Amino acid sequence: VLQGCSGRQPSGEKRPVIGVSLLNLSNELIATLDQSMEEKAKQMGVELIVNDAQRSAEKQVQQVESFVAQKVDAIILNPCEVEASSPAVEKALAAGIPIVNVNSETRAAPTAFVGSRDEEAGRIAMEYLAQRLNGKGNVAMMQGFLGQAAQIERDQGARDVLAKNPGMKLIAVQTAEWDRAKAMTLMENWNQSYGSRIDAVFAQNDEMAMGALIALEQAKRKDKVILAGVDAIPDALQAVHDGRLDATVFQDARGQGSAAVATALKILHKEPYEKQLFIPFQLVTKDNVAQFLK
C-alpha cells in the first residue's frame, strides 16, 4: 500500500518526486486520470505522491502546502475550483515548485496546463441536441452539483447554444448532483409534470444521463426524447452502442493524465514544453462509438 519510501534514497540517482492533488478519486473520470498518470510515471521512473482532495478546495490548498513542506520537485494539480484552488497554484509558484494543472483550469496561471474546457462539453452536447431537433423544441437540463466549476461551465456552454437557437426552449432546470439515483427520481418527476412536452434532455454528466435513461425507458418514453450526457463513461458508451443513449461527449482522461506527467518532466528537465495543451472533447454517437469502446 505504502508505495516505496522516501524519494530521497541515499543509493543511486535520486528519482524526481511529483505531488498530485486530485479533485475526487471516487469519480470514475478522475480515477482514470489517476491510473494513466501512475502508468506514465512508472514508465518514466518518477515517484508520485497522490492525494485525494475529495472535492474540497480547502483540502486541496492544504495538500499543496504539504507538498511544499515536503519539498517535492513538481506538483500536478487537478483543481476542484477555478478560483478557490488558485491559492494552491500561487503557493507552489511562490515556493519555486513548478505546477501543472490537469483537466480543468484555475484563475491563477500555473506553469503549464493540460486539459480541456468544460464549456466546450456543454456546447457540444447542446449543439447535438439542437441539430437533432432542428433548432426547435423543449429542452430540460440536469445540473451537476450546484456551484462546482464543471457544473457552472457546462451550464454556460449549453446556455450559449440555447441563446443562439431561439426555437429551443429550456423548460426545466434542476440539479441531480451528478448522481444517478437522484437523476432517475428527477426524470420520473419531470415525466409526471411535463409528460410529453419534453423533447430533449441534457444531463451534465453521464451518471445523470444514465439515470434519466432508465427513468425514460421505464416510462416507455425514450423514443420520444433525445438524451445526451458528458464524460463517455463505459456504461454510457455501451448505452450509445446499444442505441439507448443518443450521445455523450468524450473527454480524454487517459491522454490528459499521461500528457500532464510528461509535461511536468519536461519542465523539470528544462526541456521545451507547451504552456497550454488543450485536449479537445469529442462528440460520441452511434456512428463513432466503436472507436471509443475498448
Greatest alpha-carbon span in the chain: 70
> Is 44 a binder of another protein (CB under 8 A)?
no
Pick one of 63, 78, 111, 248: the residue that binds another protein (CB under 8 A): 63
Q: Are 77 and 108 in contact (CB under 8 A)?
A: no
Nearer to another protein, 113 or 178 (CB): 178
Size of residue set near another protein by CB under 8 A: 64
Pick one of 169, 174, 255, 292: the residue that binds another protein (CB under 8 A): 174
**Full DSSP string of 140-179:** EEEE-STT-HHHHHHHHHHHHHHHH-TTEEEEEEEE-TT-
Phi and psi torsions of 98, nearest 5°: -65, 145
Q: What 3-state DSSP class applies to 168?
A: strand
Nearer to another protein, 183 or 267 (CB): 183
> Is 196 a binder of another protein (CB under 8 A)?
no
Would you give the binding string for another protein spanning residues 120-159, x where CB under 8 A is met?
-----------------------x-xxxx---x-------
Neighbours of 152 (CB within 10 A): 18
Q: Which three cell numbers stand for residue 220?
A: 416507455
Name the residue among 169, 189, 146, 284 with its Cα closest to residue 227: 284
Q: Provide the residue type at 130 as one letter.
A: A
Residues that bind another protein (CB under 8 A): 1-3, 6, 22, 25-28, 31, 49-52, 55-58, 61-63, 65-66, 69-70, 81-87, 107, 143, 145-148, 152, 172-175, 179-181, 184-186, 188-190, 192-193, 195, 207, 210-211, 214, 218, 233-235, 238
